[in-house]
Amino acid sequence: MNIIQLLQNYNIPFHTEGKNISKGWIGIQCPFCQDHSNHLGYNLDGEYFVCWKCGGHFPNKVIASLLNVNITEAKTIIERYDTITLKSKEPVVKMRAKAHRLPSNCEPLQANHRHYLEKRNFDPEYLERTWGLLGTGVYSKLDNIDYKFRIIIPFIWESQQVSFDSRDITGKDPGRYKACPKDREIIPHKEIIYGKQKDFKEMGICVEGPTDVWRLGVHSFAVSGIKFTPKQVRVIAQTFKRVAVCFDDDPQAKIQANKMIAELEFRGVDAFRVDIVGDPGSMKQEDADYLVKQLMK
């Protein structure tokens, strides 16, 4: 939504900097509380409203209150300003510099890959069959990046491999995960979610990484870490009506989970947090199966 044009056209005061206004936000006097200092913020990337005093608010309710119109009229106005731009731009055609491909010497999982997965109580045959996992050995490179002794995790979107991630199996590499080089991705992995797209239902379970998805199964999806992007939020909101956010149990992960929930709620998704001990990928399989069964009821 082109919020700046909308506010200007309807003579609603706003600020792009100053007290209570962070970079990437627009500050407005909140119509829902006794606010005199622009506590209602609009995030330009995420396209959502939150008041630092009284909490988050749906965009249609904010616009309805600011313009003194009903919800139906507010929705119509928002739709109109979705198509307005501050200035016209020439279309940009993005070309990938390099073709997408996997690192060299990828092959079916070998004994060391299987041992790594079995130690973590995964079934290598099931993962290989269901998620298309591959493995690398003593030598594997792509664009001078070392991918040796790793499990290769293809990212499939719209029935096409668009990117990949990889997991070190030695415990010696400080970079446990190494993703596909950005200029090799057909679609950046931080613009989509990892999971079985064809098996998604109205209810989905949001987790951090692929190993969490492997544990919880095809009703879950991963955002590749606790830091998610606005494009991922949009994909999730377009795909699911209800989302359980199940991140790891460390404090920062819980903060990010709450942010995810807030952004999904702004988009009309019924979202809530599920707290567990540790991380989903380390759960006992029977516990994970029980959790999924309860959530999918």
| Assigned token pair, 240 | 């699911």
Q: Are 39 and 52 within 8 A, CB to CB?
A: yes
Give the closest residue to 228 by CA, choosing from 203, 213, 207, 199. 207
C-alpha 39/C-alpha 36 separation (Å) is: 8
Instruction: Please count the residues of the chain.
Output: 297
The pLDDT value given to residue 206: 97
Paired with 245 in beta bridges are 206, 273
Residue 103: exposed, middle, or buried by beta-carbon count in 10 A (0-12, 13-18, 19+)? buried
| Assigned token pair, 63 | 């616009």
Considering the domain 97-189 in this protein, what is its CATH number? 3.90.980.10
**What is the sign, positive or negative, of the torsion defined by CA atoms of 44, 45, 47, 50?**
negative
Residue 172: exposed, middle, or buried by beta-carbon count in 10 A (0-12, 13-18, 19+)? exposed
Half-sphere exposure of 13 (CA within 13 A, CB side): 7
| Assigned token pair, 151 | 């499990």
The secondary structure element, H or E, covering residue 255 is helix 251-266
Q: Does domain 193-297 have CATH number 3.40.1360.10?
A: yes
Residues (pLDDT < 50) of the chain are 84-94
Q: CA triplet 89, 95, 101: central angle to 5 degrees?
A: 150
Q: Are 239 and 290 within 8 A, CB to CB?
A: no
Give the closest residue to 169 by CA, choosing from 232, 114, 104. 114
Three-state DSSP at 105 gives: coil
The pLDDT value given to residue 59: 84
pTM of the predicted protein model: 0.70
Give the closest residue to 56 by CA, choosing from 273, 275, 239, 267. 267
C-alpha 155/C-alpha 262 separation (Å) is: 27
Contacts of 2 (CB under 8 A, 6+ apart): 81, 82, 84, 85, 86
Residue ranges of the chain assigned to CATH 3.90.980.10: 97-189
Compute CA distances 273 → 9, 10, 75, 266, 283, whole Å.
Answer: 39, 37, 28, 15, 17
Three-state DSSP at 279 gives: coil
Task: Express each pLDDT in 201-236 by its tens digit.
Answer: 999 999 999 999 999 999 999 999 999 999 999 999
The pLDDT value given to residue 113: 97
Contacts of 143 (CB under 8 A, 6+ apart): 98, 181, 184
* The CATH homologous superfamily of the domain defined by 3-81: Zinc finger, CHC2-typedomain (3.90.580.10)
Residue ranges of the chain assigned to CATH 3.90.580.10: 3-81
Residue ranges of the chain assigned to CATH 3.40.1360.10: 193-297
